[in-house]
Amino acid sequence: MTHPIAVTAGEPAGIGPDILLMTAMQPQPVPLVAIADRDLLADRARSLNLDIRLVDAADPGAATTGYPAGTLAVRHCPLRRPVTAGQLDPHNAPYVLETLDIAIAGCLSGEYAAMVTCPLQKSVINDAGIPFSGHTEYLAEKTGTPRVVMLLAAGGLRVALATTHLPLADVPAAITRDSLTATLRILHADMQRRFGIPAPRIAVLGLNPHAGEGGHLGREEIETIAPVLETLRSSGMSLIGPLPADTAFTPRALKGVDTVLAMYHDQGLPVLKYAGFGSAVNITLGLPIVRTSVDHGTALDLAGKGTADAGSLAEAISQAVRMAKTG
């Protein structure tokens, strides 16, 4: 793979710039291009006492051989206002979205092999008057992708979500036969295309306690989930379930399983983050590009102090490299 990986720095007042700089101090498997304000990175490097060389991404070396540890190529995207670490400013919300737009356009054109995103602050973007529900939804809109699937990976475990950032009360109505079918098709296809698994085995959780207990604790399993699984099995997919969520993550249940599909955010992700918080990777499936992300937030209280952990970003970059090579 000769093309670089684009890394967006995320919320400028958070730890995104910190972990990006910390990561660039280590050897990388492929060239990286930071999509960020160059002065922001320089100021933050001084705060962190990091002796790092920032170079223009237009330098031919950035796109081919890359730079050694301690040097970072930067595609300059100007801030709207100067930043103080730990202090949010809605005026910089357009800057954050512009960094994403640059990375997306570069991936679609083939300039970048993949994009990796540092954390952003959804609340401050909305405070700026820009409706924004998250990276995943934004990337889907900007790439014209009708449906995407959020998947997190850590410690040998992969968990995908049938619904993402919804109030719990809205989840049952959002799980329809059509939506679940589309989600499973994307998950199956990208397990093959992006992860190189020819015949993925997918464990599918039920929505209700004990997977509905034969209809006594809810009928979604009987009326929606099981019929979808039966239909897709007939097309050749290897699907297990619907399974009770409370026992689906035991070692015995996970044996031979390539990924788990949870019905909602807090059904699957607490287990995943327990398995590997700080090293987990957020992956968006179904896109025409490769996108991975850290599994944590902006940690405003840690920004500029040198105490942030860059492990998740390192894992996200490694995962993006593997996926770009496979897909």
Cis peptide before 242 (omega within 30 of 0): yes
List the pLDDT tens digit at each of the 327 positions of the chain: 568 999 999 999 999 999 999 999 999 888 999 999 999 999 999 999 999 999 999 877 655 566 788 999 999 999 999 999 999 999 999 999 999 999 999 999 999 999 999 999 999 999 999 999 889 889 999 999 999 999 999 988 999 999 988 899 999 999 999 999 999 999 999 999 999 999 999 999 999 999 999 999 999 999 999 999 999 999 999 999 999 999 999 999 999 999 999 999 999 999 998 888 778 899 999 999 999 999 889 999 999 999 999 999 999 999 999 999 886
Binding positions for a divalent metal cation: 165, 210, 265
Binding positions for substrate: 135-136, 273, 282, 291
- Gap between the Cα atoms of 34 and 276, Å rounded: 26
pTM over cut 0.75: yes
**DSSP-assigned letters across all residues of 85-131:** TT---GGGHHHHHHHHHHHHHHHHHTSSSEEEE----HHHHHHTT--
3-class secondary structure for 191-252?
HHHCCCCCCCEEEEECCCHHHHHHHCCCCHHHHHHHHHHHHHHCCCCEEEEEECCCCCCCHH
Binding positions: 135-136, 165, 210, 265, 273, 282, 291
- Gap between the Cα atoms of 65 and 3, Å rounded: 9
List domains and CATH numbers for the chain: 5-145+288-326 (3.40.718.10), 149-274 (3.40.718.10)
CA nearest neighbour of 294 among 305, 308, 283: 283
